[in-house]
Amino acid sequence: MNSKHLRKGSRQPSPISKGKIRLYSNRFCPYCQRIVLVLDAKKIPYEVVNINLVSKPDWMYDKTPSGKIPALELDNGEVLYESLIIADYLDEKYHAHHLHSKDPLQKAKDQLLLRQFTKVINALLKTVSAGRVDNDEADIITEGLTTFEKELANRPGPYFSGNKPGMLDYMIWPWCERSDVLKMFGKEYILRKDKYKRLMEWRKMMMEDEAVKKSCCDVNTHIKYLQSYRAGIPDYDLLS
């Protein structure tokens, strides 16, 4: 996971071998991490090509619109993009260790929750862009966390998917992993441990998940990257 990020002028990688899949990714992109989590959780063999998002190689634009990542390249030359679409494809294609619920109703409910979580993601993106947590964004984040705290109370196990992490757990994890960066903006109170006891316990357990361990970064690494991003020189190779 620590390979250098290819940039404009970089040579295009060789075609992938028969039966292999390739993920075009970025080490600090939470949407890309979603796919890494699914691949690792399902123990699907894959190779990674990391892409510099500020200076994308020209050939990347031949793979997806606007050079969009994450992108999954199959051995027949087909390329999929959009994290949720890729995640669903992988779960349907590779039957071992299903991540979606086999109950259609529960799967639908999980997808509705994931849509709600998008509001939290957008609030966090605005926070990073503005360099501060405005009251509106703080309210959206708090409301979202409260919804998920209550939801955990109604689930049969410590995870949203029960006794082990599933698709919903992995799809929201990248932003939960990064949640402590809010302390950069003096808003630690948003993550009050006494208010979100179940979420905090869930977060602690997720940190011990084998798939999560493979791609997880500590808060100091995320803060260093975010500082470089805000300075206009994102250090994608911080871990290389």
Compute and round to an integer the Cα radius of gyration of the chain.
Answer: 18
Q: Which two tokens stand for residue 20?
A: 């292999």
Digit-coded pLDDT (tens) for 168-207: 999 999 999 988 877 666 555 556 667 889 999 999 999 9
The predicted model gives 202-217 an average pLDDT of 96
Q: What is the pLDDT of residue 123?
A: 85
Q: Which CATH architecture has domain 104-208?
A: Up-down Bundle (1.20)
Q: What is the pLDDT of residue 81?
A: 97
The predicted model gives 52-58 an average pLDDT of 96
Which class for 216: exposed (0-12), middle (13-18), buried (19 or more C-beta within 10 A)?
middle
Q: How far apart are CA 139 and CA 133, in angstroms?
A: 10
Domains 1-98+220-240 and 104-208 share a fold: no
Domains of the chain, by residue range, sit at 1-98+220-240, 104-208
Is residue 216 part of the annotated active site? The answer reads: no
The answer to whether the beta carbons of residues 86 and 72 sit under 8 Å apart is: yes
Q: Which of 29, 32, 176, 217 is catalytic?
A: 29
Q: Which two tokens stand for residue 70?
A: 């994450």
Protein fold of 1-98+220-240: Glutaredoxin (3.40.30)
Digit-coded pLDDT (tens) for 82-93: 999 999 999 999
Q: Which residues contact 40 (CB under 8 A, 6 or more apart)?
A: 210, 211, 214, 215
Strands 22-25 and 47-50 come out as: parallel
**In whole numbers, what is the pLDDT of the chain averaged over residues?**
91
Please report, as a single letter, which amino acid is at residue 50. Answer: N
Digit-coded pLDDT (tens) for 92-144: 999 889 999 999 999 999 999 999 999 988 888 887 766 676 778 878 888 88
